[in-house]
């Protein structure tokens, strides 16, 4: 396929490179001066998308997505597929989908899970929203860039699925870190704590696959001085998106709101920026009841 790719940062760059390695013709654009193996660089976003079968975007937030979409949608050919892999607010995803549909484009909102490592290895998971026709055309590219793609529903459904998932993740990681800190103060050995909880009703991905306690469970960022696999500031971004969506949908999400508050404090006041989101554990270790 002929593919335009807008946003070639830590995630978009490896994704575009994998598409080029698979034999697709990829033309890219980024505001930064970057070079991606196998990707021909264009002078503007509009130039990168002209006459392409598929356009993929990987952008930082909804405002930038709306701005880029306003520039590229008029330049895209009718019937092309517009795949947005950014993680943005649901309202922005739906607004861009409506503009794309009005221009006879097939838009798929497809945020990803798997981080930079998954982007490099081609093992991302895509949570896709949009029409059946759009998803069907995008699916072969998802197979190149990732290991799994789930069609979650209509426009905005991909974003909805991601922020709901990450709201659960943020809340469960906090609960897991709290429990380890409490166990320490009760004199309970961390390995024994893991052995019980990981095989009992406290089982969760945060405990079993990504344990925040160093030296316990499978290898995780906790075993690398909490250098990020998933940075705390990115978790904060997703929690804020979840609460923005909750406000828009009139949904009561007190645990999600509290998780947002705690990660905001951690990132903005307590030195958590640049650390893995599981570094909440050393944060709780240092704190008392008050």
What pLDDT, on a 0 to 100 scale, did the predictor assign at position 115? 86
pTM: predicted TM-score of the whole model, two decimal places: 0.90
Taking the C-alpha atoms of residue 112 and residue 156, their distance in angstroms, rounded to an integer, is: 13
What pLDDT, on a 0 to 100 scale, did the predictor assign at position 194? 98
Domains and CATH numbers, the chain: 2-154 (3.40.50.720), 160-286 (1.10.1040.10)
H/E run at residue 234: helix 232-249
**φ, ψ (nearest 5 deg) of residue 181:** -65, -40
What pLDDT, on a 0 to 100 scale, did the predictor assign at position 289? 87
* 273 annotated active-site: no
pLDDT tens per residue, the chain (290 residues)? 999 999 999 999 999 999 999 999 999 999 999 999 999 999 999 999 999 999 999 999 999 999 999 999 999 999 999 999 999 999 999 999 999 999 999 999 999 998 888 999 999 999 999 999 999 999 999 999 999 999 999 999 999 999 999 999 999 999 999 999 999 999 999 999 999 999 999 999 999 999 999 999 999 999 999 999 899 999 999 999 999 999 999 999 999 999 999 999 999 999 999 999 999 999 999 999 87
Token output for 241: 């998106």
What pLDDT, on a 0 to 100 scale, did the predictor assign at position 262? 98
Please pick, among 21, 148, 162, 237, the residue that the annotation labels catalytic.
162
- Exposure letters 249-281 (e unless 16+ CB within 10 A, then b): eeeebeebbebbebbbebbeebebeebbbbbbb
Contact 155, 98 (CB under 8 A): yes
3-class DSSP state of 129: strand
Token output for 41: 């660089």
Taking the C-alpha atoms of residue 282 and residue 179, their distance in angstroms, rounded to an integer, is: 12
Q: Which of 113, 107, 169, 97 is nearest to 145 (CA)?
A: 113
């Amino acid at each position: 396929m002929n593919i335009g790719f807008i946003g070639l940062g830590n995630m978009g760059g490896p994704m575009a490179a994998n598409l080029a390695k698979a034999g697709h013709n990829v033309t890219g654009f980024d505001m930064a001066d970057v070079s991606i193996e196998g990707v021909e660089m264009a002078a503007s976003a509009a130039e990168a998308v002209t006459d392409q079968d598929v356009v993929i975007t990987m952008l930082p937030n909804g405002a930038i997505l709306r701005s880029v979409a306003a520039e590229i949608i008029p330049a895209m050919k009718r019937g092309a597929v517009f795949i947005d892999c950014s993680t943005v607010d649901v309202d922005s995803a739906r607004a861009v989908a409506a503009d794309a549909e009005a221009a006879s484009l097939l838009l798929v909102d497809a945020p990803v899970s798997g981080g930079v490592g998954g982007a490099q290895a081609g093992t991302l998971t895509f949570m896709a929203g949009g029409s059946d026709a759009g998803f069907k055309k995008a699916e072969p590219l998802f197979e190149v860039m990732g290991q799994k793609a789930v069609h979650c529903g209509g426009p905005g459904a991909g974003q909805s699925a991601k922020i709901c998932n990450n709201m659960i993740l943020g809340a469960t990681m906090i609960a897991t870190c709290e429990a380890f800190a409490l166990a320490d103060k009760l004199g309970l050995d961390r390995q024994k704590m893991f052995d019980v909880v990981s095989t009992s009703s406290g089982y969760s991905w945060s405990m079993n696959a990504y344990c925040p306690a160093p030296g316990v469970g499978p290898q995780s960022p906790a075993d690398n001085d909490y250098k990020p696999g998933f940075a705390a500031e990115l978790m904060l971004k997703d929690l804020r998106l979840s609460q923005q969506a909750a406000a828009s949908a009139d949904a009561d999400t007190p645990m999600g709101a509290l998780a947002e508050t705690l990660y905001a404090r951690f990132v903005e006041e307590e030195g958590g920026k640049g650390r893995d989101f599981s570094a909440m554990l050393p944060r709780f270790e240092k704190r008392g009841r008050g």
